[in-house]
Amino acid sequence: MPVFHPSAFVRDDAAPVAVRAGEERANVDITMRMMTTAVIGGQILDAGGYAPSDVEVWLTKAGASGVSASDRTIMRADGTFRLARVTPGRYLVAARAISGDMYRSSLGLPASAAKPTGTCKFAAEDVRVAGADVTGLTLRLRPCLQITGRVVFAPGAATALPAMSGAAVRLEADRSSGVPTFVPPRAPGKVGADDRFSLGEVGDLLPGTYRLQIDVPGLEVGRGWWLESGTAGGRDILDGPLEITAASPAVTEVVFTFTDRHTALAGALETGSRRQPHEYMVIAFPTNRDWWRTPFRRVRTARPDLKGRYEMQDLPPGEYYLAALTDLAPDDLRDSDFLASIASTGIRTTIGAGEQKTQNIRLALPASGR
């Protein structure tokens, strides 16, 4: 199997090698290791039980980037396939059959119409490989998955609506979930004049866990409009990934809601020691531990000014812990164990939709008096 420096089978696990101008790097060794590989095999059929033509097969390993399996796939006329040299791990085996302008669009070629026409079908199976061959799979094609949605602005708001001509929705794989997720290069979904968008029309959306991000030019924190929520199936997908499975509906509807009712959490920090307030960092993080992970949008920091005043703009409504620390490493706020260690001494506070809340913090004086 291909091995990346120093001894990784997956490119994402490889160690980068930095080379300065005029430098010669020695001892950049690659250690070969023995690995038991396997074969994944089965058959691809359409809804009528027939073997389709012009099928692409993709193989994606959990935690790694998706790659085409064409270099290690044998496809036969009866729809059977064979993937060789597969290393142990969890994989998504996917097949895609597209035709017409949809096929041209998937290649980045211009189509004859603004919206691609043709057919798009896919099939996918989550497979675990542990050295032994995995055969006898049956992948049945079904209509391709799509994510569609709309942008909503809170009713009754007096602020002028932003121009949505440059707004776009981006889809990224959430590889921290341990679920194999394939994201081929794709253009973002543009928000139309009707405030709607769509993704996956050309079969570039396969089962997996994703994060959606909407970019609206000209928005500023604390001013004008801000993104309050993004919902799909009754849950906010801004705080956690959106999971798409092979059994999911053909179309997943997403709603992004913007509001001009800004939240603010502010107050004064009283240290009770010789340290000045501006030597501390005030931290706000949610009491819900499920949100102590990427994208950490509810974890915020603020440096108090010389008078001890701090302020945080546009915190999503909810319940938070507040803490103040002098020793804070850059990665601490993305460490759930670190957040758990300071939660017991934090102040609980709640902020509602559009609330401007004052929460003063007074630190206890240590027994040493310092």
Task: Report angle CA 114, 120, 122 to the nearest 5 degrees.
Answer: 145
Class level of CATH domain 36-143: mainly beta
For the domain with range 146-259, which CATH number is right: 1.10.1040.50, 3.40.50.150, 1.10.260.40, 2.60.40.1120?
Answer: 2.60.40.1120
| Full strand arrangement of the beta sheet holding 318-325 | 300-302, 281-286, 318-325, 347-351
Residue found under tokens 């997943």? 252
Residue found under tokens 């909810």? 318
pLDDT at 179: 81
pLDDT at 205: 85
Written as tens digits, the pLDDT of the chain (370 aa) is 778 899 887 776 789 999 999 999 999 999 988 878 899 999 999 888 888 877 888 888 876 655 555 545 777 888 899 998 888 888 989 888 887 655 555 555 544 445 556 688 889 999 999 889 999 999 999 988 999 999 998 876 677 888 888 899 988 888 777 788 876 656 678 999 899 999 987 777 888 888 898 988 877 766 788 898 999 988 889 988 899 887 888 899 999 999 988 899 999 999 877 789 999 999 999 999 989 887 888 999 999 999 999 999 999 999 999 999 988 887 888 889 999 999 998 999 999 988 999 999 998 765 544 3
Chain-centre distance of CA 270, in angstroms?
38
Q: Can you tell me whether residue 332 is helix, strand or coil?
A: helix
d(CA 322, CA 360): 10
d(CA 291, CA 285): 9
Residue 97's nearest CA partner among 86, 106, 88, 89 is: 106
Query: Is 20:54 a contact under the CB 8 Å cutoff?
Result: no
**Which residues on adjacent β-strands are paired with residue 57?**
95
Torsion of CA 344, 348, 353, 355, to 10 degrees: -140
d(CA 366, CA 370): 6
Q: What is the 3-state secondary structure (H, E, C) of 186-201?
A: CCCEECCCCCEEEECC
Q: Which CATH superfamily is domain 264-362 in?
A: Carboxypeptidase-like, regulatory domain (2.60.40.1120)
Q: What is the pLDDT of residues 113-169, one digit of tens each?
A: 455 566 888 899 999 998 899 999 999 999 889 999 999 988 766 778 888 888 999
Query: Is 236:230 a contact under the CB 8 Å cutoff?
Result: yes
What does the domain layout of the chain look like in residue ranges? 36-143, 146-259, 264-362
Decide if 36-143 and 146-259 have a common fold.
yes
Q: What is the pLDDT of residues 11-36, one digit of tens each?
A: 767 899 999 999 999 999 999 888 78
- Tell whether omega for the bond before 295 is within 30 degrees of 0, i.e. cis: yes
pLDDT at 365: 61
Question: Whole-prediction pTM value?
Answer: 0.75
Query: Is 290:244 a contact under the CB 8 Å cutoff?
Result: no
